[in-house]
Structure 1
Amino acid sequence: MKKRKVGILLFDYVDVLDFTGPAEVLSLTANNKMEQAVTLYKKNLLPTRPFQVFTISELGTAIKTHSGIKVTPDFSIDNSPELDILIVPGGPLRAVQSIVKKQKIKDWIVKHRNIEYICSVCTGAYILGGTGLLDEKKATTHHLALNNLQEVYPKIRVISDRRVVHDGNLLTSGGVSSGINMAIYLVEQILGKTASERIATTIEFLSR
């Protein structure tokens, strides 16, 4: 089976759980029950795992998260590998608004418009909205930002009653922990319900 390359965009003041939640789900997903057990035992992830997850920032240099934790990304947007899945996490509105002003980052996201999935977590929907990719699409975001997202991007069909919204190859999710729901949903779409239930049980996450 093809190993999907998953890139997670990082930026200053990004919310930690927005990107570590999906990263943990996808990194620990296994092809079968035996591999899942081995994954929990061994220090290093199996080379047969279905998802390879890495982080990307504009320059590839260290970023400071909203909670103050510093993270050094694996790649910059100029040298990142080809992607099958792109995940855009969120953060405080001032942070995502700053990213929306960066044309280079928006152009880089748009370049991936035809990959298997482009995803946002929480207010990462603002960044996708700034690219135009969500125009005329259904999408969601953090519950406190739903009305503002609709005001800023009136062409988006904002959905308020779902944690994960799937429209074409675009997945958007609600606030913070909803990124875990989104990642489990991705696993189900790609590997099937058994695999998604297995990883949800492994991380002891009660999916809603």
Structure 2
Amino acid sequence: MNAWRIGIFLFNDVEVLDFAGPFEVFSVTTFENGDKPFKVETVSENGELVCARNGLKVHPDYSFANMPSFDILIIPGGFGAREREINNDTVINWIADKMHTVQLMTSVCTGALLLAKAGLLKGKRATTHWASLERFQSEFPETEVIEGVKFVDEGNIVTSGGISAGINMSFHIIKRLLGSEVAKQTAKRMEYDLVI
């Protein structure tokens, strides 16, 4: 089978575990025969070096202009998402446009605010970091905001709660696409306590 191509959006002040958690989960997933079902890459608006929260510097693989077509897109959160990117029309329009081409659009933490701003969560259930739930409900009343969960699966859109919840969401997606056994083996490889 061809590998699922996963793109993770990066931007200045992105929360590190928001993107690094899913990156790790999908990157280490391996079938018994050694094949890897996911190819994980990163993309930013201009492809230049990104300074994540607390100073971690990451160089994206692609810019919006030269990125390939992805099957799954992950939109992380953090200060940069909720304070800057939500007001960046280029990013919001890009997310809205990619919804037409990806098989699965996902968010971690306040990345859900970007999905909502792009109009993708109208009439849907979604979640985000607990500290942004009230803002989420206030700014996007057409979305049913769910509290106290790690993730919300709405079919072609999956949103997850704050920071480490992106790891839970990633395992859920693996289970959904490849089955419980692959998810369990990946969790074992990571020494992660997975409840399925």
TM tier relative to shorter chain: over 0.9
Measured in 1, the distance between the counterparts of 2:160 and 2:194 equals 13
Instruction: Give the C-alpha shift of residue 183 in structure 1.
Output: 0.6
- How do 1:1-208 residues align onto structure 2 when only pairs under 5 Å count? 1-32=1-32, 35=34, 48-92=35-79, 95-114=81-100, 115-207=102-194
User: Do the aligned partners of 1:14 and 1:65 also contact (CA within 8 Å) in 2?
Assistant: yes
Instruction: Give the C-alpha shift of residue 2 in structure 1.
Output: 2.4
User: Do the aligned partners of 1:139 and 1:157 also contact (CA within 8 Å) in 2?
Assistant: yes
Which ranges in structure 2 are unaligned for 5 or more consecutive residues?
none
The AA in structure 1 aligned to 2:53 is: H
Measured in 2, the distance between the counterparts of 1:168 and 1:182 equals 13
Aligned-pair RMSD on alpha carbons? 1.2
Instruction: Give the C-alpha shift of residue 95 in structure 1.
Output: 4.1
**Other structure's SS at 2:6 match:** strand
Q: TM-score, normalised by structure 1?
A: 0.90
Measured in 2, the distance between the counterparts of 1:24 and 1:67 equals 19
**Other structure's SS at 2:114 match:** helix
In the comparison of the two structures, how many residue pairs are matched?
194
User: Do the aligned partners of 1:107 and 1:131 also contact (CA within 8 Å) in 2?
Assistant: yes
User: Do the aligned partners of 1:15 and 1:91 also contact (CA within 8 Å) in 2?
Assistant: yes
**Other structure's SS at 1:172 match:** strand
Which ranges in structure 1 are unaligned for 5 or more consecutive residues?
36-47
Ranges of 4+ aligned residues in structure 1 off by more than 6 Å: none
User: Do the aligned partners of 1:97 and 1:127 also contact (CA within 8 Å) in 2?
Assistant: no
Q: Residues 53-111 of structure 1: CA distance to partner in whole angstroms, max 9, x if unpaired?
A: 0110000000111111111100001110001000000002x643311211111121112
User: Do the aligned partners of 2:48 and 2:59 also contact (CA within 8 Å) in 1?
Assistant: yes
* Percentage of pairs with the same residue: 40
Q: Residues 105-125 of structure 1: CA distance to partner in whole angstroms, max 9, x if unpaired?
A: 112111221421100001111
Q: TM-score, normalised by structure 2?
A: 0.95
